[in-house]
């Protein structure tokens, strides 16, 4: 009989050592990128945007993937965090060059905050707005909730660009001269800390309640779970980290305006969590890096290419996004639940994945695959034979019943005569 593969688990000390080694490797890689030992400034820029989108993607997955609430308001919360950081971190001597059409409000003209305080304020302000709008809109479901949150996101963008907000947000001109990052460690550590906190929340009793609501709201409510309380908590926490991510994005770009937070940003985030897997933190992080690097390193498709003086006609601006879209479609077709589905990174999974290859090779050399295929063919043939015999038996039974009916009718007719 062919031997079945048995999964094994690593002990806790081994997992702890591997985790520490992985963290150390990430720190060394970040240090080498930051100091220019490997990669270029362009690579560092892509890594920076990837880690920021990882944080925002996980925050959106917390609501959509783990709680089952279809929210599309992430761009609005990002805008709140971004403008909060931008307004309060621009140096005082540079504000005259930023607010040149309409002077900055006297109430905040000389008010400057450290980056960390402004970032935290942006997250808290986004969470406050989420708590205020969550009370009425979280009673909606499905598409209605998505439309309501998307409308809120657009309202935030419109308010920021409104002429009455010029003394604070500088209206449609946006903000510039925002101090940028001096090291790659800042966005990496902040994003890692945010994702870690969300993972801890997901693995807590609140996280289990989120998943119960996602699976079946009626069953969750019958078990004593307060639907509104947990939906509101998920929504507010998601908005907080989206505001943090928006603040990091503003610092990364050093210049922002309201047009950078259109619906397209929400759709890109939705693509990240769907591609990675709704309900998977690991999948969201992998997807964020894939999309960030893919969009940049496929740019050569937008430039004219020639072979021996003959210019290839298909290479033109915009082809990059076509190729990128086709690759994403292929991934979605072959992995319909995303790259990770609802699975997460685990050392046991990696260990058993590599253990399985030698086992498969031994199985191939022993001829177990042929034996299994032969057994399967015999089983299918036996099943077909049984079905055929059953069909013949049914036909014979029906034929016997018809013959008996004819004989009975003849007897009745003879008795009548």
Average confidence score pLDDT of the chain: 85
User: Distance between CA atoms of 298 and 324, rounded to whole angstroms?
Assistant: 8
User: Distance between CA atoms of 4 and 396, rounded to whole angstroms?
Assistant: 43
Q: What percent of the chain has pLDDT over 90?
A: 30
Give the CB-side neighbour count of residue 71, counting CA atoms within 13 A: 33
Q: What is the pLDDT of residues 60-70, one digit of tens each?
A: 999 998 998 88
pLDDT of residue 288: 92
User: Distance between CA atoms of 47 and 51, rounded to whole angstroms?
Assistant: 6
User: Distance between CA atoms of 352 and 355, rounded to whole angstroms?
Assistant: 5
Low-confidence winner among 84-93, 187-196, 313-322 (lowest mean pLDDT): 313-322
Has residue 404 got a pLDDT over 60?
A: yes
Three-state DSSP string of the chain: CCCCCCCCCCCHHHHHHHHHHHHHHHHHHHHHHHCCCCCCHHHHHHHHHHHHHHHHHHHHHHHHHHHCCCCCCHHHHHHHHHHHHHHHHCCHHHHHHHCCCCCCCCCCCCCCCCHHHHHHHHHHHHHHHHHHHHHHHCCCCHHHHHHHHHHHHHHHHHHHHCHHHHHHHCHHHCECCCCCCCCCHHHHHHHHHHHHHHHHHHCCHHHHHHHHHHHCHHHHHHCCCCHHHHHHHHHHHHHHHHHHHHHHHHHHHCCECHHHHCHHHHHHHHHHHHHHCCCCHHHHHHHHHHHHHHHHHCHHHHCCCEECCEECCCCCCCHHHHHHHHHHHHHHHHCCCCCCCCCCCCHHHHHHHHHHHHHHHHHHHHCHHHHHHHHHHHHHHHHHHHHHHHHHHHHHHHHHHHHHHHHHHHHHHHHHC
Has residue 173 got a pLDDT over 80?
A: yes
Q: What percent of the chain has pLDDT over 70?
A: 94
pLDDT of residue 127: 94
277, 340 in Cβ contact below 8 A?
A: yes
Q: Which residue has the higher pLDDT, 94 or 26?
A: 26
User: Distance between CA atoms of 238 and 245, rounded to whole angstroms?
Assistant: 10
pLDDT of residue 369: 66
Q: What is the pLDDT of residues 362-394, one digit of tens each?
A: 777 777 667 777 778 888 888 888 888 888 888
Has residue 199 got a pLDDT over 90?
A: yes
Residue with tokens 């997955």: 61
Q: What is the pLDDT of residues 226-272, one digit of tens each?
A: 888 999 999 999 999 999 999 999 999 988 988 888 888 888 888 88
Q: What is the pLDDT of residues 17-32, one digit of tens each?
A: 999 999 999 999 999 9
* Buried-exposed string 238-259: b where 16+ CB fall within 10 A, e elsewhere: bbbbbbbbbbbbbbbbeebbbe
Residue 267 corresponds to which tokens in the numbers above? 């759709």
CA distances from 273 to 1, 266, 269, 278, 302 (A): 43, 11, 6, 6, 26
pLDDT class of 196 with cuts at 50, 70, 90: very high
pLDDT of residue 146: 86
Q: Give mean pLDDT, residues 173-183.
A: 88
Q: What is the pLDDT of residues 296-339, one digit of tens each?
A: 877 777 776 666 666 666 777 777 777 777 777 777 787 778 88
pLDDT class of 92 with cuts at 50, 70, 90: confident
For the ranges 22-26, 254-258, 345-349, 350-354, the one whose mean pLDDT is highest: 22-26
pLDDT of residue 57: 93
Q: Give mean pLDDT, residues 146-161.
A: 88
Has residue 295 got a pLDDT over 50?
A: yes
Low-confidence winner among 100-104, 201-205, 242-246, 258-262 (lowest mean pLDDT): 100-104
pLDDT of residue 240: 95
pLDDT of residue 1: 43
| Selection from 293, 198, 298, 304 nearest residue 244 by Cα | 198
Q: Which residue has the higher pLDDT, 137 or 305?
A: 137
């Amino acid at each position: 009989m062919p031997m079945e593969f048995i999964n094994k688990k690593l002990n806790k000390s081994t997992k702890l050592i591997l985790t520490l080694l992985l963290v150390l490797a990430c720190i060394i890689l970040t240090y080498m990128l930051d100091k220019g030992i490997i990669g270029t400034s362009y690579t560092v820029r892509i890594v920076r945007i990837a880690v920021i989108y990882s944080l925002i993607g996980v925050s959106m997955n917390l609501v959509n993937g783990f709680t089952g609430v279809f929210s599309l308001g992430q761009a609005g919360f990002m805008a709140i965090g971004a403008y909060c950081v931008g307004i309060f971190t621009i140096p005082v001597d540079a504000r005259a060059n930023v607010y040149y059409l309409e002077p900055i409000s006297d109430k905040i003209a000389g008010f400057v905050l450290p980056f960390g305080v402004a970032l935290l304020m942006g997250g808290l302000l986004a969470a406050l707005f989420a708590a205020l709008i969550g009370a009425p809109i979280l009673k909606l479901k499905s598409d209605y909730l998505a439309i309501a949150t998307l409308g809120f996101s657009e309202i935030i963008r419109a308010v920021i660009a409104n002429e009455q907000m010029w003394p604070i947000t500088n209206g449609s001109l946006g903000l510039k001269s925002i101090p940028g990052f001096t090291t790659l460690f800042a966005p990496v550590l902040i994003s890692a800390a945010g994702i870690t906190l969300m993972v801890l929340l997901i693995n807590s009793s609140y996280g289990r309640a989120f998943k119960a609501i996602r699976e079946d709201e009626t069953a969750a409510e019958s078990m004593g779970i307060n639907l509104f309380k947990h939906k509101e908590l998920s929504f507010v926490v998601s908005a907080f980290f989206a505001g943090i991510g928006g603040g990091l994005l503003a610092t990364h770009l050093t210049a922002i305006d309201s047009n950078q937070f259109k619906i397209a940003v929400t759709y890109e985030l939705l693509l990240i969590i769907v591609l990675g897997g709704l309900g998977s933190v690991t999948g969201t992080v992998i997807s964020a890096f894939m999309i960030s690097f893919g969009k940049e390193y496929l740019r050569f498709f937008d430039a004219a290419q020639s072979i021996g003086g003959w210019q290839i006609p298909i290479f033109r601006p915009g082809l990059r996004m076509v190729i990128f879209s086709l690759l994403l479609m292929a991934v979605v077709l072959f992995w319909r639940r995303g790259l990770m589905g609802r699975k997460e990174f685990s050392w046991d999974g990696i260990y058993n994945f590599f253990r399985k290859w030698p086992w498969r090779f031994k199985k191939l050399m022993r001829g177990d695959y042929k034996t299994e295929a032969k057994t399967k063919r015999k089983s299918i043939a036996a099943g077909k034979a049984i079905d055929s015999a059953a069909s013949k038996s049914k036909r014979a039974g029906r034929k016997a019943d018809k013959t008996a009916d004819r004989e009975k009718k003849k007897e009745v007719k003879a008795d009548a005569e």
